[in-house]
Chain A
Amino acid sequence: MTALGTTGVGAAGVAGAGGVAPPTALRRGRRGAGAWRFAVLLVLGLYFVVPIAASVLFTVRRGGGGLTAEFYTGIPSSPGFAVAFTRSLILAVLTVLIVLALMVPTVVLVELRLRRMRTTVELLTLLPLVLPPIALVVGVRSVLSWAPDYFLNTPLAQAFFALQKPALPWILVLVYVVLAMPFVYRALDAGVRGADLRTLTEAGRSLGASWPRVLLSVVLPVLRTSVLNASFLTLALVMGEFTIASILGFETFPTWIVKISGSAPQLSVAVSVLALMVTWGLLLLISALDRRRDTKETS
């Protein structure tokens, strides 16, 4: 809660308790604070809402006037949608699985055994944010297109080809894992720091649990929210990633949207709006899961 909010609550508490009349100065202060709050909210709200509202309006307006939902109802049947969407979803799920399999043990290990490595790991996971994706993808492309005669027919070359199958481009999964790393590491690290994992794992150990058991029954439940958080962030990232997929020439959900935007502009915007809503829904779900009852017994 902000300082402004706290002031409001405090003043209300005093008034509610009865007997103590809130001083006039406080009231004026509250009104001033309220005005500021309103102004900030208004600016922020406009900044976010106007473009989205414009998009929504664009997709529900009928040519001759009036409203229509035909662009939304038409999404499932539009050519190429199902394939591109499913492909992106599969890529996203694979990315989530791989990045979690890599990062959960890393974060736990750093916390419990390799505290001194924390800064190093943190810097390493930051690299993908510092390097422009365009540099990354150009590098990947030049490696993949490296094909002198003697290289063909080697197992490595075959692996390169396998990575680039248009139906399921594993190379995108690998690149997305790298891109998602900063977000996933931070989400997990926040969970680990807030949990006193060391004491919890030691408690588990002293009660007779083996290390795998401790990871499964103690660590994962404690990190549940951060794992969900990391998963949804990764999902949103993959479902919206355009540059790399486009440059490497694969058709995913975002590149499909761009492709159809010329011929069916309203449909493409409708799909974007829907994708945005789904992402928001997921993020709201996380915060709902994260909200715990915080009642402590006073005795």
Chain B
Amino acid sequence: MTASAATTAESEMPAGSRSGSTAELRDRPGVGVRLEGLTRRYGSVLALDGLDLDIDGGEFLALLGPSGCGKTTALRAIAGFDRPDEGRVLLGGRDITDVPASKRDMGMVFQAYSLFPNLTVADNVAFGLRVRRRGKAERAGRAAELLELVGLADRGNRYPHQLSGGQQQRVALARALAVAPQVLLLDEPLSALDAQVRVQLREEIRRIQLELGITTVFVTHDQSEALSVADRVGVMRSGRLEQIASPDELYERPATAFVAEFVGTMNRLPATVSGGEVELLGTRRLLAGSAPASGPVVALVRPESLQVSADAAGAGRVVTRTFSGASTRVAVALPDGVEVKIDVPSASSADLTPGTLVTVRPADRPVLVAPVEPTVTDADGAA
């Protein structure tokens, strides 16, 4: 799918036609989902460790985390494909822990292509309605409508193998929505697609979700995906929620070092805590979050929270300079072998060529610190 094709499909969609029988979806108030103390073991591996989670009706929640953090297990527990060892799943206040997947009224889009290969695109979309014994006319009408919603109105007679990956996932989305589910579950639906299609489709998923107001849980390991579309993002680690917050808050005020390093780019700088403040790069700053009373720590600083200026007497030296439109990322080697990444407005980065001596200072805002230890993400990545 090229960029122009998608844009055309979207812009040609008359606004009025979106309201037809998808009204059944639209008129429902979003239903909340609640997970209470979900625990799931696979042999000796603890995939979910007493997970508590509250998803508001109509909310778009992203579950984010490294592989093996339990995010997919949590989603499968909501879908009914995986029964938790302990804990409950509630849908709109009703306990559905023991309800089989086929009776949960949830639409799901999978990571792998999941269209039924023997059915046409339209029949795929109508599958759930056929199972529910809806009439032929209703099935055809609804399928056409949902295909239009995902911009594939003219592909109804194709077979799945004739579609590109992005188109197949759109059809899978239409199929999941066709039964007017109470909750939409997305299990890394974009990870098999190439970068450009991924960005387009995630925006389209968000558009449709907002339009229908359907409660949505989106599992991903891609932080930019989670941050760009979700109302709230839950960062998971070792079967638990590390932090759940809006994308802005997650980025600006990460609750833990793990979240700070998993979301966005983070510099690690040697620092010292004393008197409720932290000293780094020869400057004292206020502390953000919890910290030991005193002693050496690691300061976690975003690339845009560092300032760099050319200085013939500076201790840093520019290593690389990467232009990316409005901002430019400069990598600076500091004494002690520490290298930091700093984002500067491209307009004021002309003199920061590789080899230039520079001074680096933290911006005037509270600084998050972590105990001195091997990096958290490295330890998790190896597990």
Q: Identify the A interface with B (CB < 8 A).
A: 195-196, 199-200, 202-210, 213, 217-218, 221-222, 224, 292-299
Contacts and interface: CB of A to CB of B under 8 A. Distances in A.
B70 to A, nearest CB: 18
B30 to A, nearest CB: 19
Interface stretch (B107-115, B141-149, B221-229, B357-365): B107-115
A297 B167 contact: yes
28 contacts: A196-B112, A196-B113, A196-B114, A199-B110, A199-B112, A202-B101, A202-B110, A202-B114, A203-B114, A203-B116, A205-B80, A205-B81, A206-B81, A206-B107, A207-B107, A207-B127, A207-B131, A207-B175, A208-B102, A208-B103, A208-B105, A208-B128, A208-B131, A209-B102, A210-B102, A221-B119, A292-B161, A296-B164
A217 B124 CA distance: 11
Q: Which of A209, A222, A294, A298 has the most CB of B within 10 A?
A: A209
B118 interface: yes
A195 B118 CA distance: 11
Contact of B161 (A207, A224, A294): A294
Contacts of B115: 203
A221 B116 contact: yes
Nearest to B110: A199
Give the 7 A-B residue pairs with the shortest CB-CB distance, closest first. Answer: A207-B128, A221-B118, A203-B114, A206-B108, A205-B101, A199-B114, A208-B131
Interface in B196-214: none
A222 B116 CA distance: 8
B1 interface: yes
Contacts, number: 90
B107 A299 contact: no
Nearest to B181: A206
B350 interface: no
A222 B117 contact: yes
B79 interface: yes
B179 interface: yes
B94 interface: no
Given A203-B116, A203-B175, A294-B161, 6 more contacts: A202-B108, A206-B104, A206-B107, A208-B102, A208-B132, A299-B2
Given A205-B81, A208-B102, A224-B118, A296 B163 contact: yes
A200 B162 contact: no
B161 A296 contact: yes
A292 B160 CA distance: 12
Interface string B74-113: 0000011100000000000000000011111111101011
Contacts of A205: 80-81, 100-102
Interface string B293-328: 000000000000000000000000000000000000
Contacts of B379: none
Contacts of A200: 114, 116
A202 B81 contact: yes
Contacts of B344: none
B81 A222 contact: no
Contacts of B230: none
A210 B119 CA distance: 18
Nearest to B106: A206
A168 B320 CA distance: 84
A54 to B, nearest CB: 44
B116 A297 contact: no
